[in-house]
A and B are shown apart, each in its own frame.
Chain A
Amino acid sequence: MPESRTPLRLEYRPGPAGLTIAYQAAPPGSASVSATYVAPAGWGFDPPARRGLARVVNAVGASAAGPYDRVELARRLDALGAAVSRQAAPESAELTIGGPADRWRTLLEILGHLVLRPRFDRDDLARVRRQVFERQSREMTQPASRADKELLAELFPGGHPYGATGLGVRAGVARLTRDDLVRFHGQHYTADGALLVLTAPLRPSVLVGFADHVFRGLPGHSAPTLGAPAARTGGAAVRMVPLPGSAQVEVRVGGRSIARTSELYPAAFLADEVLGGRPLLARLFQRVRERGGLAYHASSELEAMRYGGYWIAQAGTGPERWRKVVPMLHDELDRLRSEEVPERELRTTRESSIGAIPLGLETTAEAHELALEAAYHRLPEEYWVTWPDRLRTVSRREVREAAAVAFDRASQRTVLAGPGLDD
């Protein structure tokens, strides 16, 4: 059943009990499908005494469901040439299945089991708990993970969901019971406020009709909403986390940022591309690595979520070099906020970003990432189709003004984690 629609264009369809279904055609020639269920079930909803619950629900729920225990589910996926992945974030949690297009019905049925009928077997909970303990420990001992964790905590103190990584603390995860998982799942894995995103080389009517059938059992009650959490200011401007015995210092400079639906987003996106987001071309890469010869990696990212977000400029460097690298990061951030990007640099960055769109359309799974992003933020159906034109209208002044807001200076914090640091 080949489908010749253009990828990049979303179609929203109403699903059962308030579920939103978003469909996007797979790239031409593709023979696979990807489907993701996104629930308002991120760690922002963790009860205070049970931090880590959302991630544990996501992990245990993806292990075994419906007629499949953990081993049978893995065997079934292997027999189909398919894979299941999961992801949790502050606001939401996802379950994704991908596999051959000619098995799309079976794949959707399996996703339906995972969403509607997770087993939450006690053995799986015990296993995931052990794995989370180890990851909690890794967050404390591995320089990159530790730097990320500490920076987020500095930017969003006081229990803000963006200030955590969702792994919780040992005591909270230790006390989780199967009942906790079942309760959380019942409240958050609903139709209302949730999303099913489908990317496939199939006619949307057939696909959506079957999805409607599979997900018909989703509870229709309203899922709790996260609201727009207020971010308090706090923390130190520079924080050192000595990790003796490690080899490299991980540097993170970050601050609070805008929501994905902000009108400033296209200009802020370009500001990030100029700073460190566009591989090879960006200022941080050029200055820290190519001209300075100081670090293997130097980049930036803009994490714009539903209620706000954060930006990070980062590099990994030797203990004897971080004193040179940190001022470079600060300097480039100040330049981005205070000076207009030269016309030629902006043009090159913009055309590079636009030109890269086809690279995200080689496979169904890659195209699916774009669909997910647009659908999660309820962006218009033509959002990615018109994205190049939107970028082309952004001026130098708009990039500078957006950078001043989206790369917020007032909340800026610097965290270093690694060897040879003084606390």
Chain B
Amino acid sequence: MPVPRIPRPPLRRFALGNGLRVLLAPIPASPTVSVWVWYRVGSKNEWPGVTGASHWVEHMLFEGSPRYAKGQMDRAVVAVGGESNAFTDTDFTAYLTTVPREHLAVPLDIEADRMTRALIADAEVERERTIIHSEREGNENWPEFRAEEELYQLAFRVHPYRWDALGRREDIERMTPAELRAYYRRFYGPRNAVLVVAGAFDARAVEREVRRRFGRLPASGEDVTVGDVEPAPRGERRGELSGPGTTPFLTVGWRAPALDDPATPATALVDTILGGESRLFAAGGGWARSSEHPGARLYRALVDPGLAVRATSEWRPRVYPGLFTIQAQAADGVGLDRLEAAVSDVVARLARDGPTVRELRDARTKIAQGARLAYEGASRTAFRLGYFSVLKSPEFEERILRALLRVRAREVRDRARQMFRTEARVTVRYTPTPEGPDA
């Protein structure tokens, strides 16, 4: 299959003396500019006692810096019609601001100010503690979150992927402002960041602005390699949860390769064939994407015959080996044993026979077509450039696309064989209770 050209705008790339990597993507027709700062810090960098620190620091970066008192960052962005947000993952933290094209100076000024000088004041940390709890509680209202958190906790005993980026309740309760400040000082700074600007601007002028605003910052920010290597599992691990919910819910996981592992392209194809998502190259990012993939194997095996109302797989690209997971929500009257047996059968068949010619062709087509509109709009452009840069490099996107489109049926089968081993399986079963124990 021919590899489609990814319609990425031309890039202006440079690095500052303090280590900050910068990507400028001019899109002359854009009505907006979108500024993203990506830090290579996430829950992978935490340790027991400070789980959730990356996420908490993310919140604190909106709560004051030398030039922006509490609330003023939000005010400065919103006053010009902009939007601002941030999110924390296992492997990175990203800050994003999109503003009308004439207001680029606003986000650049904010990001430069908080990159190394966020205040993280004691009183603000205490106030934010309850908000972090509240965010976590909001997630706990969903059985899917509870089950996934349990799954990762069971699957990893050593590696920091074993806790969610929101952190453990007990650590949120205990963590001190001083610990958060120390965490911030260690990991935040130009050396550990990628700045991406996409939208309507003159690249040369913006480069001058970036050099002026960010060039004087100290060369701080550690990009730490996580040394904890998760040992290979020696047997199946299982967990049972119960609580409020609708029908029984099942999530199953297996160890999956890291992003730069040669096995990654075939793993991604396994994901597309089983669950239907083309993940890195999903079409329709700008319009409502359907979560229904009637051609995918899990759908045909579980949803069509009435065993489940939803069934999908998920492989998340990660810096270190993570999990390949399958989730299924039972249909009314279907028990977990039956659901689990059906999931086992689906993965066993792929491991035994591999994909059909048509399945593989369809998966490749889906990925190739998804890449065509991947760069519509300044915000999405800045997101993609930053995402691939913080995980690997901007070029990685094209490399992995080429690799995905070259994967052969035999490789998918072998990957499935290698991955879907019973002794490497982790299973969490969630049983709804009419009235669960009060939290």
Contact = CB atoms under 8 A, between A and B. Distances in A.
Interface stretch (B14-22, B129-137, B188-196): B129-137
B219 interface: no
Contact of A133 (B131, B136, B332): B332
B215 interface: no
Contact of B137 (A32, A74, A84, A247): A247
A81 interface: yes
A80 to B, nearest CB: 7
Interface string A338-364: 000000000010011111111101111
A419 B29 contact: no
Interface stretch (B151-159, B259-267, B361-369): B361-369
B233 interface: no
Nearest to A325: B134
Given A82-B283, A352-B78, A293 B439 contact: no
Contacts of B101: 358
A5 to B, nearest CB: 13
Given A74-B293, A363-B286, A248 B81 contact: no
Given A31-B7, A79-B369, A286-B71, A98 B81 contact: no
A316 B79 contact: no
Contact of A32 (B100, B293, B376, B436): B376
Given A247-B141, A296-B138, A81 B131 contact: no
B284 interface: yes
Contacts of A321: 130, 134
Given A34-B287, A78-B362, A248 B134 contact: yes
Interface string A24-50: 000111111010000000000000000
B176 interface: no
Contacts of B369: 78-81, 100
A85 B137 contact: no
Contacts of B28: 29
Nearest to B199: A362
Which of the listed residues B130, B137, B435 has the most CB atoms from chain A within 10 Å of its own CB?
Answer: B137
Which of the listed residues B7, B30, B366, B439 has the most CB atoms from chain A within 10 Å of its own CB?
Answer: B439
Given A81-B372, A352-B81, A356-B81, A75 B438 contact: no
A361 B98 CA distance: 12
Contacts of A75: 295, 362
Interface stretch (A124-132, A156-164, A397-405): A124-132
A395 interface: no
Contacts of A126: 306
A328 interface: no
A286 B290 CA distance: 35
Which of the listed residues B30, B82, B309 has the most CB atoms from chain A within 10 Å of its own CB?
Answer: B309
A95 B258 CA distance: 39
Interface stretch (B40-48, B87-95, B244-252, B340-348): B244-252
B286 A141 contact: no
Interface string B111-137: 000000000000000111111111111
Interface string A393-423: 0000000000000000000000000111000
Given A32-B286, A351-B81, A362-B30, A245 B243 contact: yes
Interface string B302-340: 011010011000000000000000000101100000000
B71 A290 contact: yes
Interface residues of B, number: 85
B27 interface: yes
B50 to A, nearest CB: 20
A62 B145 CA distance: 29
A83 interface: yes
A319 B141 CA distance: 12
B32 to A, nearest CB: 5
Nearest to A34: B287
Contacts of B30: 29, 362
Contacts of A99: 283-284, 373
A248 B130 contact: no
Contact of B288 (A85, A143, A420): A85
A138 B138 contact: no
B309 A134 contact: yes
Interface stretch (B222-230, B377-385, B406-414): B377-385
A61 B378 CA distance: 34
Contact of B246 (A73, A138, A289, A365): A138
B81 A296 contact: no
A363 to B, nearest CB: 4
B66 interface: no
B304 A123 contact: yes
A71 interface: yes
B29 A244 contact: no
Given A279-B83, A293-B128, A364-B376, A359 B138 contact: no
Contacts of B304: 123, 127
A81 B283 contact: yes
Contacts of A133: 309, 331-332
Which of the listed residues A81, A142, A293, A317 has the most CB atoms from chain B within 10 Å of its own CB?
Answer: A81
Given A81-B370, A127-B303, 15 more contacts: A79-B366, A98-B287, A130-B306, A131-B309, A243-B244, A244-B438, A245-B244, A246-B140, A247-B138, A281-B74, A317-B134, A353-B81, A355-B103, A356-B82, A364-B286
Interface of A: 27-32, 34, 63, 70-71, 73-75, 78-85, 96, 98-100, 123, 126-127, 130-131, 133-134, 137-138, 141-144, 243-248, 250, 278-281, 286, 289-290, 293-297, 316-319, 321, 348, 351-359, 361-366, 368, 418-420
Closest 6 CB pairs of A and B: A355-B81, A245-B436, A81-B369, A362-B377, A83-B284, A29-B29
Interface of B: 7, 27-32, 70-71, 74-75, 77-84, 98-101, 103, 126-138, 140-142, 243-247, 276, 283-284, 286-290, 292-295, 300, 303-304, 306, 309-310, 329, 331-332, 362, 365-366, 369-370, 372-373, 376-380, 432-433, 435-439
22 contacts: A71-B300, A75-B295, A75-B362, A85-B290, A98-B287, A99-B284, A127-B304, A244-B436, A244-B437, A245-B438, A247-B439, A248-B138, A281-B75, A293-B131, A297-B138, A318-B134, A318-B137, A348-B75, A352-B78, A362-B376, A364-B286, A366-B286
